[in-house]
């Protein structure tokens, strides 16, 4: 066994050979880990800017450990290596012969891991080869799938599963141990989704397989799952339905429920929706954490934030947020309400459903089955002396008219509409049947928004903006724009997180006149542009010039605007 001083020198030399400048930081971390009787590898690899591949390759050479290049392919026949060993000790089976096993890992100092493998395979000669942490983590995930260790425990010792075909299912909720393991497996699916910053989980039977997908930054990603997961499909779906308080025997009609749980010390609210399909019951889970709503998270530029804060300071009127489903309208509304939430104001919301709980705010969930609709709830709320009202969505004429009239009687009202842009909100209200004079008198602003993915700052690549000029992007000479790269931090996507684009149409006196004249959408939009309205795409180009997102992202979420622009 190497002494502490020798290890410090080995790590220092590896840092120097990899070209990392701060050797003192490496020495400090190694010494600290050794003092705590821990392996220093993980602590050192967490140093920002450390060239992982070069560092680990150099360290392996000094320790006399063979190097396994991440570009090498893995033998698919090595799937019989136990998942519990692979996940617990971060090992990837490279070869598995009758008397020999080769394992790749990123910590050549982990003698406990090799000891555990030798104990599990006493008849085999075990060889360790070194590789990068990124390769090991990704290979384990791809090979074994989410929750593989728990899934393996469920299958171990159950001979009754051995004779089943891949298309058959079995429910193993027949003992407390199995029930706990299935719950643990479901929790692991949710925990990984949270670690990946997913907002939704979709569990989808596909005939001969069970597919699990996460929605991350607005895009669906398929998740590797354990082999033979189809065998336990019924158990997994039943466990989710039990947790959500749903009827596990009912598979013919859709059901909705909620799960309140705590993962990694954080309270999580999960909305569950089941849908019967021809290949089996699919389940969708919306993950809602206890978010902090403030303006710093909205992605507003200073000028737009000042405009919105001015709207919030008004004593009455309606502010409508528009856009498609999933564009962040609810987050914006919750942020507005949070900024208004003081002891001097009574705030009431009417939602379907209540997505996030705001302390000090009275929140009502509509229930059409007992005739508690948006319109009926709004009538009751107006008798309860509110200062600020939020209506989740203006779905019909009745709700829209009550909301408009409540704004005219001294209330500040917020709601949403499904339109492509801000000016489209005016014509949508007219189409619903709201009188133009009511719109012009009550509505203060229409705010359209979209969400774009943020570029990962670890791997974004500069490119010339010339190729995007035909789409309307103009960048000052000497400036660059960025496109996505792909690294471990963003799991190869090139993006990490999202930010919003905004289009704010203020209802000015001139626009009020046009609305009362029932002007066309084209004329309304032209006036709004003349009065300084920045379009969604123009706002997107601002974010591109700031290096926050890519031109391709802006074009992806503002594609409908090209048709609008053509009309104008």
DSSP state of 417: E
Q: For the chain, what is the domain count?
A: 3
| Assigned domain for 53 exists | yes
Q: Which of 274, 289, 304 is the last residue of a domain?
A: 289
Computed from CA positions of residues 485, 491, 493, 499, in that sequence, does the dihedral angle turn out positive or negative?
negative
- The per-residue pLDDT for 356 is 85
**Are residues 325 and 443 both part of a single domain?**
yes
pLDDT higher than 90, residue 39: no
Beta bridge partner(s), residue 276: 281
How much is the pLDDT for 377? 94
Q: What is the pLDDT of residue 171?
A: 46
Let me know whether 251 and 303 are in one domain. Answer: no
Whether residue 446 is found in the same domain as residue 515: yes
Is 343 in the same domain as 419? yes
Domain assignment present for 169: no
Cα(154)–Cα(177) distance, integer angstroms = 9
Band (pLDDT 50/70/90 cuts) for residue 161 is very low
Same domain membership, residue 92 and residue 233: no
Q: Which pLDDT score, from 0 to 100, does residue 78 have?
A: 57
Whichever domain contains 228, its CATH number is 3.30.450.90
CATH number, domain at 114?
3.30.300.160
| 167 belongs to a structural domain | no
308 shares a domain with 211: no
Average pLDDT over residues 528-540: 95
21 in a structural domain: yes
Q: Do 222 and 74 fall within a single domain?
A: no
CB 355 within 8 A of CB 368: no
The 10s digit of each residue's pLDDT in 406-465 is 999 999 999 999 999 999 999 999 999 999 999 999 999 999 999 999 999 888 999 888
Pair 121, 39 in one domain: yes
Q: Give per-residue pLDDT as tens, 50-67.
A: 888 899 999 999 989 999
What is the pTM assigned to this prediction?
0.77
Least confident residue range of 87-101, 446-460, 501-515: 87-101
Residues 359 and 455 in one domain: yes
Is the residue at 308 inside a domain? yes
Question: What is residue 355's predicted lDDT score, i.e. its pLDDT?
Answer: 83
Q: Are residues 226 and 320 in the same domain?
A: no
Q: Same domain for 128 and 152?
A: no
- How far is CA 165 from each of CA 158, 234, 237, 309, rounded to the nearest angstrom? 15, 15, 19, 62
CATH code of residue 534? 3.40.50.300
DSSP 300-319: --HHHHHHHHHHHTSSSEEE
* Mean pLDDT rounded to a whole number for the chain: 86
286 φ, ψ to 5°? -100, 120
- Each as own residue / partner, the long-range contacts of residues 336-345 (CB below 8 Å, 24 or more positions apart, any chain) are 336/308, 336/312, 336/414, 337/293, 337/361, 337/388, 337/390, 337/414, 338/293, 338/294, 339/294, 339/295, 339/309, 339/312, 340/312, 340/388, 340/412, 345/387, 345/388
Tell me, yes or no, whether 473 lies in a domain: yes
Residue 283 pLDDT greater than 90, yes or no: yes
Q: Is residue 551 part of a domain?
A: yes
Shared domain check, 331 and 261: no
- Give the domain-ending residue among 250, 272, 289: 289
Q: How far apart are CA 15 and CA 436, in angstroms?
A: 70
Q: What percent of the chain has pLDDT over 70?
A: 89
Range of the structural domain that residue 189 is part of: 148-158+180-289
Asked which of 228, 263, 289 is the last residue of a domain, the reply is 289
In a domain, 172, yes or no: no
Q: What is the pLDDT of residue 140?
A: 81
Secondary structure of 385-407 in the HEC alphabet?
CCCEEEECCCCCHHHHHHHHHHH
């Amino acid at each position: 066994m190497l002494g502490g001083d020798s290890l410090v020198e080995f790590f220092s030399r590896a840092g120097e050979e990899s070209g990392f400048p701060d050797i003192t930081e490496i020495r400090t971390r190694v010494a600290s880990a050794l003092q705590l009787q821990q392996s220093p590898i993980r602590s050192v690899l967490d140093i920002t800017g450390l060239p992982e591949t070069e560092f680990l390759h150099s360290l392996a050479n000094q320790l006399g450990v063979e190097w396994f290049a991440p570009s090498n392919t893995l033998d698919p026949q090595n799937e019989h290596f136990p998942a519990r060993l692979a996940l617990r000790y971060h090992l990837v089976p490279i070869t598995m012969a009758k008397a020999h096993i080769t394992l790749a890992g990123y910590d050549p100092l982990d003698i406990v891991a090799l000891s555990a493998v030798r104990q599990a395979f006493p008849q085999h000669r075990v060889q360790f080869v070194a590789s990068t942490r990124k390769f090991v983590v990704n290979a384990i995930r791809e090979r074994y799938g989410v929750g593989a260790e728990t899934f393996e425990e469920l299958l171990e010792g159950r001979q009754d599963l051995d004779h089943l075909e891949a298309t058959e299912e079995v429910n193993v909720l027949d003992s407390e141990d199995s029930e706990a393991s299935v719950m643990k497996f479901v929790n692991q699916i949710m925990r990984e989704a949270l670690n990946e910053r997913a907002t939704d989980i979709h569990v989808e039977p596909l005939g001969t397989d069970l597919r699990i997908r996460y929605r991350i930054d607005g895009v669906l990603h398929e998740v590797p799952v354990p082999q033979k997961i189809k065998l336990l499909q019924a158990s997994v779906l039943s466990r989710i339905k039990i947790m959500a308080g749903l009827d596990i025997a009912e598979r013919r009609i859709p059901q909705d429920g909620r799960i309140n749980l705590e993962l990694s010390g954080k309270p999580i609210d999960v909305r569950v929706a089941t849908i019967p399909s021809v290949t089996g019951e699919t389940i969708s889970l919306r993950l809602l954490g206890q978010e902090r709503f403030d303006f710093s998270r909205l992605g507003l530029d200073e000028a737009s934030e000042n405009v919105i804060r001015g709207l919030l300071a008004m004593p009455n009127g309606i502010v409508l947020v528009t856009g498609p489903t999933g564009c962040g309208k609810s987050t914006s509304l919750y942020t507005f309400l949070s900024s208004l939430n003081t002891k001097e104001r009574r705030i009431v919301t009417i939602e379907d459903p209540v997505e996030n709980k705001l302390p000090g705010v009275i929140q009502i969930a509509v229930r059409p089955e007992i005739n508690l609709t948006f319109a009926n709830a709004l009538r009751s709320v107006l008798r309860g002396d509110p200062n600020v009202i939020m209506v989740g969505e203006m779905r019909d004429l009745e709700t829209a008219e009550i909301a408009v009239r409540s704004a005219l009687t001294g209330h500040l009202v917020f709601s949403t509409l499904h339109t492509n842009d801000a000016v489209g909100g005016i014509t949508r209200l007219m189409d619903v049947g709201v009188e133009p004079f009511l719109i012009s008198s009550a509505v203060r602003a229409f705010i359209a928004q979209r969400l774009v993915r943020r570029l990962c700052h670890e791997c974004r690549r500069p490119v010339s903006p010339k190729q995007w000029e035909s789409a309307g992007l103009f960048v000052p000479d000497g400036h660059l724009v960025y496109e996505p790269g792909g690294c471990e931090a963003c799991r190869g996507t090139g993006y990490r997180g999202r930010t919003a684009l905004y289009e704010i149409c203020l209802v000015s006196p001139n626009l009020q006149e046009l609305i009362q004249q029932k002007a066309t959408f084209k004329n309304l939009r032209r006036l709004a542009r003349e009065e300084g309205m920045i379009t969604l795409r123009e706002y997107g180009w601002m974010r591109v010039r700031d290096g926050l997102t890519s031109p391709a992202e802006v074009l992806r979420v503002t594609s409908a605007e090209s048709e609008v622009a053509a009309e104008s």
